[in-house]
Amino acid sequence: MNKKGKFNILHVDSFKEFGGAQNDIVILLKFMKLYHSEKFNIYVIHNGNKRLKSELDKLGIYNISIRMKNFLDINAIFKIRNFLIKHDIDLINFHSSKDQFLGGIASLSIFKKKIVKILTRHVAYKVDFLKGFLIYRFLTDKFIAISDFISKGLVNDVKINPKKIETIYSPRIYNDSGTEGKRCSLERDILLYQSVKQDVRCELGVKPDEKIVSLIGRLSKEKGHEVLINASELIIKIKKRNDIKFVIIGEGELYNHITNLINKKGLGDFFIISGFKKDIKKFIFASDLIIVPSGLEGMGSIIIESCALKKAVIASNVGGIPEIIRNDETGLLFENGDYIELANKIISLIDKQELIEKLGLNCYNEVVKKFDAKEITSKTALLYLNLLKDLQ
């Protein structure tokens, strides 16, 4: 705690790209600064992440880059240690195993002061027991899990005491005017994207009588692009639907593989692979259905974004997804990897506009309650204060 009675809080993130976890960090710290600046001074260490730096600079949040090459990066440990001492850090909130290990070791080397260590677990991958023991059990005072599924994984995989885990959802839905103002803000977004919907369809080259089924996310194995491609083959060749355009938005290491697979199956005329798009919301809104065929998701950022725009979602029944999507109520679920079931669910829903709107509205009401940024930030601030009370 500094002389003005504030605690010094540091967030550390070693990921070099800007994804859902980095977006969570930005929104959380935006609201932390807006509503809890009388309690905390906020600092961030990142791993040369230019976009994260840009977003934090816009918010006026102090941040620096420290290169974190691997778990044995001694140079990074010393640099983090020096930062902890220089800024008299009271609590560190880590966001991945690598930064948790490096920063955890750095904090333990400061013998004169106890620094509280929190790990926010954003992903649902199974934790190796040995790594989990060294990093999670030995170097962590408290865990924040962004879904109940992730929380259960920590208990089952690493045998973490459930009392050391707090489930706090990602801060994604927000407006400074509170709940009603938040709804008004989301409604304004919907009106805005409604006004440009036709422009987006033209940009994609979609005809007026064609439906848009979109998969939005990084082109990597766990996102399940092949499941959608296989489902589309059934829809087009067996169900004889030629009025659907399948849109894939994103970039990643599987770009060439996915493109080649689509062409090999003779589906090139029915797919649009757009690459990275900056304003993703307008492409979500222009879609008739959003498909999330992931093999594993801690929560599913694109689901939250889609539901906030009242879009119907069909998603795989994995990870934290069922905490948002309840089958036939807030969307449709299919069994992981079952492209036949996915194809049938797309066909069963694509022409039922009333049902599409009902599912979209139900999920909208769900995410407005669960992912309110102001409330989530307050929960996080309270957790920090409870952990820090012994240091006062």
- The percent of residues in the chain predicted with pLDDT above 70, rounded, is 96
Measured between alpha carbons, how far is 115 from 84 in angstroms, rounded to an integer?
Answer: 9
Read off the pLDDT of each residue in 336-347 and give the average, rounded to a whole number.
Answer: 98
Measured between alpha carbons, how far is 188 from 194 in angstroms, rounded to an integer?
Answer: 10
Read off the pLDDT of each residue in 240-253 and give the average, rounded to a whole number.
Answer: 94
Q: Which pLDDT band holds residue 105 (cuts at 50, 70, 90)?
A: very high
- What tens digit of pLDDT does each residue of 119-161 get? 999 988 887 777 777 788 889 999 999 999 999 999 988 889 9
Which residues contact residue 85 at a Cβ distance below 8 angstroms, ignoring those fewer than 6 apart? Answer: 110
Which domains, and CATH codes, for the chain? 7-171+372-391 (3.40.50.2000), 178-370 (3.40.50.2000)
Neighbours of 236 (CB within 10 A): 21
- Tell me: pLDDT of 45 over 60: yes
Which residues contact residue 356 at a Cβ distance below 8 angstroms, ignoring those fewer than 6 apart? Answer: 288, 289, 312, 349
Read off the pLDDT of each residue in 228-254 and give the average, rounded to a whole number.
Answer: 95
Neighbours of 291 (CB within 10 A): 31
- Lowest pLDDT segment from 67-81, 128-142, 251-265, 275-289: 128-142
Give the pLDDT of residue 384. Answer: 97
Average pLDDT across the chain, whole number = 92
Q: What single-letter DSSP state applies at residue 173?
A: B
Strands across the sheet containing 116-121: 62-65, 40-46, 7-13, 91-94, 116-121, 142-145, 165-167
Give the pLDDT of residue 183. Answer: 64
Measured between alpha carbons, how far is 210 from 229 in angstroms, rounded to an integer?
Answer: 18
- What tens digit of pLDDT does each residue of 216-240 get? 998 999 999 999 999 999 999 999 9
Give the pLDDT of residue 174. Answer: 75
Strands across the sheet containing 289-292: 271-275, 244-249, 211-216, 289-292, 313-316, 332-334
Task: Provide the whole-model pTM.
Answer: 0.87
Q: Does residue 307 sit in helix, strand or coil? A: helix
Q: What single-letter DSSP state applies at residue 39?
A: T
- What tens digit of pLDDT does each residue of 309-326 get? 999 999 999 999 999 999
Residue whose token pair is 């309270």: 382
Which residues contact residue 59 at a Cβ distance below 8 angstroms, ignoring those fewer than 6 apart? Answer: 26, 29, 30, 33
Q: φ and ψ at 167, to 5 degrees?
A: -85, 120
Structure tokens at 369: 């309650």
Neighbours of 64 (CB within 10 A): 11
Name which residue leads in pLDDT, 94 or 275.
Answer: 94
Q: φ and ψ at 258, to 5 degrees?
A: -65, -45
- What tens digit of pLDDT does each residue of 64-76 get? 999 999 999 999 9
Q: Give the chain's radius of gyration (CA, Å).
A: 22
- Tell me: pLDDT of 178 over 60: no
Residue 344: left (phi > 0), alpha (psi -120 to 50), or beta? alpha
Give the pLDDT of residue 291. Answer: 98
